[in-house]
Amino acid sequence: MEAIPWGKPYEGDPEPISAKPLFGYVQPWNGFDPECTIQNREECHLLPSQTANIKVAGVYDGIEVGGNRWMEMAAEEALLSVRNGGGPFGAVILQIDDQSNHVIRYWRNHNHVPDWHDPTAHAEVSTIRAAARELGVFDLGNIAKGQSKMSQPGARSHCVIYSSAEPCPMCYSAIYWARIPRLIFAATRYDAAAQGVDFSDEALYRELGQPYAERQGVKASQSTVPNSLDAFNLWKRKTKTSY
């Protein structure tokens, strides 16, 4: 989970995928078809290896791009996670020097929910935590040379994140709060929800779109107490480090 030095130019974002036919398009696939080892072998024929991403109703129109070493590295990290008992998710964060456009260093990490007994230890969150902790900053989108605990050649740098799969709402929010300006992901939310994978976020997306009184997953109440605003009132009236 420690930073890995790189010091080479950032190749830039993956190239956009050119217009493809509505029918007849074949997505590249590396042929990885692992042996089925689930306990009930009779179900193996129901869980064939998937060869293409599931993209529904134009959700990804206008944002489809090809791959690069960093996207492949995030997918490799996800595979490593599964082989070590973790969830099938990986992420890579690059720190890029603004002036030279060189990748100063990068972090790669994966899902740690089972081994850390931490339901928030998704790949993106774990990687953000590692990068922010080593750099000593909470804004990964604008890192000043004098503020960072780690060296950088130029006055400013920023991070981008590659995720093996479309981030869940929690991870997307973590990327947002870390102010990482660029996200590239591979597998879609529909791939994650496929039979046998079963990591669907649809209930959460629906839940967040409902008023509190109509939500089903968590019963929430707004409580009125005399000291509910104490922390906010002190915060706004004292010298502080905003974030």
Residue 237: predicted pLDDT: 95
Residue 20: predicted pLDDT: 79
Q: How many whole angstroms separate alpha carbon 8 and alpha carbon 118?
A: 35
Q: With bands split at pLDDT 50, 70 and 90, how would you rate the model's confidence at 22?
A: confident
Active-site option among 2, 64, 124, 166: 124
Q: How many whole angstroms separate alpha carbon 140 and alpha carbon 47?
A: 39
Q: What is the mean pLDDT of the chain?
A: 95
DSSP element (H, E) containing 232? helix 230-236
Q: What is the mean pLDDT of residues 188-210?
A: 94
- Amino acid in position 116: W
Helix (H, G, I), strand (E, B) or coil at 4: strand
Q: What is the mean pLDDT of residues 131-142?
A: 98
Model pTM score: 0.94
Q: With bands split at pLDDT 50, 70 and 90, how would you rate the model's confidence at 54?
A: very high
Residue 75: predicted pLDDT: 97
Q: With bands split at pLDDT 50, 70 and 90, how would you rate the model's confidence at 170?
A: very high
Q: With bands split at pLDDT 50, 70 and 90, how would you rate the model's confidence at 193?
A: very high
Active-site residue 124, yes or no?
A: yes
